Structures are given as C-alpha cells and as structure tokens.
Structure 1
Amino acid sequence: MELRYLTSFIAVAEELHFGRAARRLRMAQPPLSQRIRRLEKELGVQLFERNTRSVRLTSAGRSFLEPVRRVLDDLDVAVRAAKAAGQGEYGRVTVGFAGASSHDTLPLLTRAVRAAHPGLELVMRGQTYADVALAKVADGSLDLGFVRLPADLPGVETRVIGEEELLCALPQDHLLAERERIALADLEGEPFVTFPANAGSSLRDASFRACEEAGFRPRVVQEAPDSYTILALVAAGVGVTLTLSSCLHIQQTGIVHRPLGGPPRRLRAALAWRRDNPSAALRSVLRVAAEALPTPPGYEAEGGRSGGAAQLREAPKAAGAD
C-alpha cells in the first residue's frame, strides 16, 4: 500500500469533496479519484459513498480513518526523529569518568546537555580511570572520556578543560601536618596509600613520577580503587597520599591537605574523543561542552588537538579524572 494512497484518503475524508481535496494535494481531480478507487480495490471495501452532490464516508471509511491518521502521525514523528538524530538532538553518547575528580565538571556537562538536548542520552561509565578512558575512546567503546594529558593515541582528539594541582594529604596528627607546605623529599620512607598498579590511574603515575624526581620511590602499604576510599584510609592513619585539588570537596574528618614545596605541580584535565567518530550526538555534546566546560585561558591553541605536552609540569597558575 503506497503512502500517497493514505494521504489522498485523509484529504478526501477531511474535505468530503474531491475537488477541494485535489487542490489541497496540489493535483488534478481525476488522478485523485483513481487513487481512491485503487485503495478501495486493494482493501476490498468501499470507503466513500459519492454522488454528483456529496461525498460521505462509509462505515468502513470511518473505521479506517483514525488508524490511518495514527500511521501518518507516527511516520511524521519517525521522520522528525531521524532528522533530529542526524542533527545530534537525539541519540546516545557514552562517557567515561573517574568519580571524585569529576565531581565538579561532570554535573556541569550533564546539566548543560540535558537543557540543550532533552532527547539526547548520556550513558555514564564511572570508575573509568583517565588512562583507561583514553584507551576506550581510542578503541571506540567510549564516545567521550575525561582524561589527562598527554593523550598521544592515533586518531584521538583532546581539549583541555582545566588544571589540577598535586597536593599532599596526611592524617591530621601526622608530624608533617603542622607545616604549611610539604617537601616531597620529606615523604621518603612514609607509608603511601594509592591506586592499584596497572589500573590506568594517571594520578598514580604522576605521583610516582613526582616522588622519583625527588629521589625516592613511594612505599605503598595499601591500594584502593577510588579517592574516597584512599582519603578515608589516610584519615585512619594508614599512610599518606598525593591527591588532586579537584578532590578537595571530599570532606573527610581527620585529614589535612597541604600544597607541595616549590612551584605548584599541575596536571591538565581534558576531554577526549575519536576524530573519526561519526555520531552527530557526540558532536552536539562537544558543542555544549565547549560552553559548559570552556578551555582555560592560555590553552586555546591546544583545543581539538591530538596528544599533548608533558602531563606533570610546574606552572605559575592553578586549575580541576583519577
């Protein structure tokens, strides 16, 4: 059954006049009459009673009218949904993030996307460490990831969204807790609580690199899967840790945070996505993210580039995935 037969039927049923229906459809009356006859022949029923003065729906025609309207309405919705999806207004985007350090940035993005594109679904994949998120973006199992630079994987684009300062977290009764700043060298021999090895945590990698630059390797006594647990263990006196300024929202009794001695050490937080990802929904999210999570001043030139410079660096300014 051809769609034009159904639209012709609706026009005649609503106008109850072949001439007016033909003008509405912008066609001549004889071809319209032929369409109705072919439709009636296909259905095996008479849809209209017509004579030289009037046109009326038969009982079969009245029964046929509302279902046909629903079919055409559903088709219109399907067409509009397809067009909207092609423009990124509908669809699904998978996002990988690590919980504690995305405390501020993730809600900003999700709320902005919800407001701009209510029909677009963000599928959140928590506990995805920065290095893991980057690998999953590269292999296509994630559309978008909260990562840290450098992100030197072929085909992966990144945009800086903030900076995070490396801090020391200690039990409040620790001997070093009285100091305003902690020299990394003073942590040599201290028990460390950190993320598991080989879990893909860029924070662990950066912490170990900083300690090694200070002349020692951290003595890890306990590993934990997230910043919340790590800081709880520090508060319990299990050890010390290096954490990020983006985790300061974790209100943990019995713990103090101290900046490190020397110039601040900062990590760059970024969004990562595949350059060849065809998703219109992802493009919409990236446009929203450009407003909700703007690139900090001084990093505009790095937006949308693949890779990046050194991950842990000394810098004169501060900024905010595990």
Structure 2
Amino acid sequence: MELRQIEAFLAVAEELHFGRAATRLHMAQSPLSQTIKKLEKDLGAELFERNTRAVSLTTAGLSLLPHARKILEELDLARRAATAETGTVYGRLAIGFSGALNHKTLPPLTRALRNRYPGLDLTLHGGLLTQDALGHLRNGSLDLSFIGLPVDAPSLATRRIAIEPLGATVPVDHPLAGRQSIALNELAEDGFVTMRQAQGSTLREAIFSACTIAGFRTRVAQEVTDPYTALSLVAGGVGVSLMPDSVAGIMPAGTVFIPLSGHAPQLESGIAWNPALTSPALTLALEVAEEVLPTPA
C-alpha cells in the first residue's frame, strides 16, 4: 500500500465523487480511477460501489477509512515531530459534543487546551447525541466526546462531569409560564418535543423516565435532532420539553424555563473515550479535563 493510494482513497471516500476527488488532488480522473483499482487489487477487496449516479463505500471501504485517516495523521505528526522544538507538544484531537447541552462544559476544556498546548490541532464536531458519539469513538473518528450518562459501552471509558436537575421549558404564552415552579404532572396533557428515538439520546430517555415516574405517559408532539431545535419549537408553541437547568441562560425568545418542584429528575453527563485508541494528545486532554471539569461529588 503506497501513500499516494491512501491519499487517493481518502479523497474519493470523503468526496464520494471521482471528479471532485481528482480536482482536490490536482490530477485527472482517469489516473485516479486506476490508482483506486490498483489499491483494490492489492487488498483483494472492492472499496467502492460505483454506478452512473453515485459512489459509495463498501464494507471493506468503511473498515479501511479510519485506518487510512490515522496513517496520514501519523505521517503529519512525524513530520512535525522532526522539526518541533524540544518540549513542544503536538498532535490532533477530535472532540464531539451535542451543542446546547455542552455550552458550559466544552468551552473550559477547549480554552485550556488551546492556551496550554497551542501545537494541538483541535477539531470540534457538534450536533452529536450520545449513541452517535459512541459509534465515532469506537471507529476512531473521534478521540473524546461529551455524552449523556449512563451508557452501555463496555469497550469505552467514561467519567461523569456534571449532574443537573431537569426543568420544564414552555412557550411564553403557556398557562403555567408565570409560575416560579411546577410539578411535572401538571404537563401531563401537553405534547413534548423530544430527540429522535433512533439517535439514542439520553435526554430523551430522561424525559420519558421522568414522566413515567410522575404518573403519565409522554405524548410526543415532535421529534428533532438536537436540543436547541427542540427549544426553538417550544418557542413556536409546538409543545413543551424538559431540559437541564444549565440551558436557562440561553433560552430562545418566546420560551420560559420553569424549575420543577419536589425531587426534580436529573441528567448526568460526562466525557467518553476509547482506551484502545489512546494517543499522547488524548492523554493530555484527559489530564486537563480532570482539572477543569472535575467529577462532581
């Protein structure tokens, strides 16, 4: 396997179009196709499914993809190591997060990493709910991710970083919007805006569990892909939702956050990583996270 073959494979895998990949590599399409065919012949497996309309990765191609990325990343790190000054910390770190739910936890970590280790290349991937993030950690496309807890992921390591009470989010014209606090069962007749079930959101699970404990079944008014979209739909009067109290300060106009009375349900969140894919950059990130995002008592 040659370096130019790996570069060609990655370009086609990321563009899913031979023409665009050839342009990206500053070469003609025919030599690119021949390079891919030779790589497939050397490996004894087809990497792409091709037809007149689309290009897609085969199972073999999907399996090769994270390793190909790692090869090029390691090559880049090797080049930087050869020219780095003594004591310089370098490397790449891909961090996943969900968006609105991490607006208080992501900035302290990334700010500390950038200030202390300017040689680290940080790539941030937003809009990832828990199960999606776990999949990316397993295949190596993420090094570290913010997730909801608990999770069933025996091959991954996790650490809790926050425990937050859930509160109600309602439209500003909701009959309960002016209250200082409410009981969750007062929302029993409302429709809820939640994350999609297929995405494996721990927030969704917490909402359904809390409603069950409060004595009613959650009626879903709308499913969305991320928490802030849920808040936007609440503002539009589509339904109500539950959110951790950390979002109270970033509520969109037209939405009210109301604490829940009594023993409010809680949402636990943490960070996760793959111990089998630990790198020097990840080790540094975990050390910094331990300091700026300590495990709550």
CA deviations on 1:210-264 (whole Å, 9 max, x unpaired) are 1122222222122222222221221222211111112223242222111123213
Name the CA distance, whole Å, in 2 between partners of 1:257 and 1:76.
51
User: Secondary structure at the residue paired with 1:95?
Assistant: strand
Q: Partner of 1:248: helix, strand, or coil? A: helix
Q: By how many angstroms is 1:83 displaced?
A: 7.8
Q: Secondary structure at the match of 1:180?
A: coil
Within the candidate set 72, 75, 82, 1:79 is matched to: 82
**How much has 1:76 moved relative to structure 2?**
10
- The structure that has the greater radius of gyration is 1
Q: Flag structure 2 segments of 5+ consecutive residues without an equivalent.
A: 1-77
Partner residue in 1 for 2:119: 119
Aligned twin of 1:155 = 155
Aligned to 2:185: 185
Matches for 1:241-252 after TM superposition, within 5 Å:
241-252=241-252
- The 3-state SS of whatever aligns with 2:269 is strand
C-alpha distance in 1 between matches for 2:202 and 2:243: 11
Whether contact under 8 Å (1:148, 1:270) holds in the other structure is yes
Distance 2:119 2:250 in 1: 33
Distance (Å, rounded) in 2 between the aligned partners of 1:78 and 1:149: 37
Please state if 1:208 is matched with 2:208: yes
Matches of 2:86 and 2:198, distance apart in 1: 44
Measured in 2, the distance between the counterparts of 1:177 and 1:112 equals 38
Shift of 1:151: 2.6
What SS is found at the alignment partner of 2:199? coil
Q: Percent identity?
A: 46
Asked if 1 retains the 8 angstrom alpha-carbon contact of 2:148 and 2:203, the reply is no
Give the Å deviation of 1:175.
1.4
For residues 77 and 232 of structure 1, what CA distance do their matches in structure 2 show? Answer: 44
Unaligned runs of 5+ in 1: 1-74, 299-322
In structure 1, the partner of 2:134 is 134
Shift in Å at residue 169 of structure 1? 0.6
Which residue in the other structure is 2:4 paired with? Answer: none
Counterpart of 1:37 in structure 2 is: none
Name the structure, 1 or 2, with higher relative contact order (CA <8 Å, separation 6+): 1
**Preserved CA contact (<8 Å) 1:145 1:271:** yes
TM-superposed deviation, 1:200? 2.2
Residue in 2 aligned with 1:271? 271
Matched, 1:293 2:293: yes
Partner of 1:290, secondary structure, is helix
Normalised by the size of structure 1, how large is the TM-score?
A: 0.63
